[in-house]
Chain A
Amino acid sequence: MATTRKEFFPDGAHFPTANFPAQVVLASGGNRLTLAYDAAVDETAYWSMIAPQGVTGALSLKVHYCMASATTGAVYFQAQVEAITPADATDLDAGTSFDTANSGNGTVPATAGYEQVISITLTAKDNWTDGDLIRIALSRDADNASDTATGDALFLAAELQEA
């Protein structure tokens, strides 16, 4: 049985200096907070955590989203992992060290506003070790040929799951 290792929400995100999803409140949805990933520009948001103890299984990121307007097509998300072990030769003040991108895509719901989940298997996880300082970068690869849905993809939450 899969185990939930961490949950990520819009209000816990931090952002690069450019090309990041705007925080959008769905007023008619009870002021639900989302991150609006653009359909034309690749945008990224980050979440930080400490790698939990005892992770031995495969990891995946379950991305919960809905579409602002699209009722057809697919969205293509990418997740990158940065794992910093204490005493690593990584200058956190000078750059990043994300592993290569893991990707997942899925067909959007036929009704805008309906929730859907895309699963991204984190095959490339930067030699993740218990206790590492972790960042997850989640992007919409808007110019990917598999990202065919128009309009914003509204990020609702993500679950880090161990198989």
Chain B
Amino acid sequence: MADMTTVQRAQTHAELMREFSDSRTSCSLTKLQLRAALDAADTWVSANAAAFNTALPVAARTALSATDKAKLLMFVVAKRFKVGAV
């Protein structure tokens, strides 16, 4: 799995800052620090994609596409965020 492009990371950075503003989420990082964290998270996802795939049951591992697996992970992370299980 490839990292996001520089443009995609910049877009995500902007979207994240807008979400912080809209939700009035206090942010004690500068733009550069927040961007570095975002880059690191993206790199971590790339580096651990194979481990995530291995963790899935065989049926899901073989039947689901890479996009499906990404959606699965997104739903789990989103739900954990919503219920505070992070």
Bound: A150/B25 CA distance, A: 11
Chain B residues with Cβ under 8 A from A149's Cβ? 30-31
Assess whether A69 is in contact with B31, with CB atoms less than 8 Å apart: no
User: CA A40 – CA B15 in complex, angstroms?
Assistant: 9
Residues of chain A lying within 8 A (CB to CB) of residue B24: 68-69, 112-113
Interface of A is mostly: loop
Q: Give the number of chain B interface residues (Cβ < 8 Å).
A: 19
- Whether B34 is near chain A, meaning CB under 8 Å from some CB there, is yes
Q: At the interface, yes or no: B20 with Cβ under 8 Å from chain A?
A: yes
Q: Which chain A residues border B28 with CB–CB below 8 Å?
A: 71-72
Q: A41-B14, A71-B27 are in contact. Are A152 and B32 (CB under 8 A)?
A: no
- Residues 74-112 of A, flagged 1 when their CB comes within 8 A of B and 0 if not, give 000000000000000000000000000000000000001
Question: Contact between B32 and A148 (Cβ–Cβ < 8 Å)?
Answer: yes
- Which residues of the other chain, A, contact B32 by a CB distance below 8 angstroms? 148
Indicate the size class of the contact surface on chain A: 10 to 19
Q: Counting CB contacts under 8 A, is A151 at the interface?
A: yes
* Distance between B1 CB and nearest chain A CB, rounded to angstroms: 25
Contact of B17 among A112, A113, A150 (CB under 8 A): A150
Specify which chain A residues have a CB less than 8 angstroms from the CB of B86 in the assembled complex.
none
Within 8 A of A (CB), among B1-46: 10, 13-14, 17-18, 20-32, 34
- Which residues of A are found within 8 Å of B22, using beta-carbon distances? 68
Q: Report A144 CB to chain B, min CB distance, Å.
A: 11
Tell me the chain A residues, 9-30 only, with Cβ under 8 Å from chain B: none
- Contacting pair B20 A151 (CB below 8 A): yes
In the bound complex, do residue A39 and residue B17 qualify as a contact, i.e. CB atoms below 8 Å apart?
yes
What is the chain B residue whose CB lies nearest that of A69? B20
Query: CA A39 – CA B16 in complex, angstroms?
Result: 10
Chain B residues with Cβ under 8 A from A151's Cβ? 17-18, 20-21, 27
Most interface-central of A38, A70, A148, A152 (chain B CB within 10 A): A70
Distance of B15 from chain A, by nearest CB (Å): 9
